[in-house]
A = this chain, B = another copy of it.
């Protein structure tokens, strides 16, 4: 829940004067997202989201994120569309932070994802991958496999305070994951493209269709997006959507997610075969960043620390699974 930067009335009005959005009607902080400050902005021109980019986002990378969102929206993907000011520029500054206004997306993110969400989610993820085609600028994944070793080293001083023996177990997983990881080029290399890399339930909005079934109304929060193996994004979603609150894997959800994805962009045999190791990698990636945050969040910080051990449970499931049949296919 996040509003890290307060915006004064004067600064807000001066900022809005750079746009053609009409008169200000309302401006409320949104208690969602943990990386940036987000405000719901209502003007006579409609509803918008104003984002102030905080410490974890590199300002130099913002043009890439906004450019990708613009590209995806132009290709018909329901994602926030950066709104340009009078000067044609969407990336501006407010209250000492880089800032941008994006279009408001209708929908509600599912607090308890059901099987009925997983098919549409898979379809939306595949549509995102397809829509990213043709956006030529690349952004390396700064939290990809090459980052996991150094991240584990930074967790080592405090990691075992979370659970004795944790770091040694992770050493084993990391070595095995890196050994099995698909090559980035040459034979066995998997299709690459622009991935969301953080498509958790709170980043996917749904509305009910006329048949009362959920359909995806929008994807948000592209600030971890990068250029990487497309199937790795599927693996992230299998981790984020297909485990129950007791951390049991729900194979029906996985089957629905993969079927929804395949209906839009069929996964190749190689991609399917790589899913188990990609899932292990995805679980390790979220485990490591949560572990680092757990050990380094000052008490009293206005951030909910997420339990890293939830991802250890997932990682162990994937390590035991090995075969793609464990995912319902």
Contact = CB atoms under 8 A, between A and B. Distances in A.
Interface in A217-244: none
Nearest to A212: B13
Interface stretch (A1-9, A67-75, A76-84): A1-9
A161 interface: no
A180 interface: no
Interface in A1-53: 1-3, 6-10, 12-13, 23-32, 40, 42, 47
Contact of A28 (B7, B12, B40): B40
Tallying the copies of this chain within the complex gives 2
Interface residues of A, number: 41
A3 B26 contact: no
A207 B27 CA distance: 11
A108 B12 CA distance: 10
A7 B111 contact: yes
A6 B2 CA distance: 15
A296 interface: no
Given A26-B106, A299-B300, A302-B304, A111 B3 contact: no
Nearest to A10: B112
Contacts of A299: 299-300
Interface string A190-211: 0000000000000001111000
Contacts of A206: 9
Contacts of A7: 111
A107 B9 contact: no
Given A6-B111, A106-B42, A110-B9, A30 B27 contact: no
A32 B42 CA distance: 16
Contact of A112 (B9, B32, B47, B205): B9
A288 to B, nearest CB: 22
A303 B302 CA distance: 7
B8 A111 contact: yes
A113 to B, nearest CB: 9
Contacts of A301: 300
Given A32-B29, A108-B26, A302 B9 contact: no
Contacts of A26: 104-108, 205
A1 B25 contact: no
Given A26-B107, A29-B32, A31-B1, A112 B8 contact: yes
A207 B25 contact: yes
A211 to B, nearest CB: 14
A31 B3 contact: yes
Interface string A281-320: 0000000000000000001111011000000000000000
Contacts of A104: 26
Nearest to A297: B300
Contacts of A106: 25-26, 42
23 contacts: A1-B2, A1-B3, A1-B29, A1-B302, A2-B31, A6-B111, A9-B108, A9-B110, A9-B111, A9-B112, A23-B208, A24-B108, A25-B106, A26-B105, A26-B107, A27-B108, A28-B32, A28-B40, A29-B30, A30-B31, A31-B31, A42-B47, A302-B304
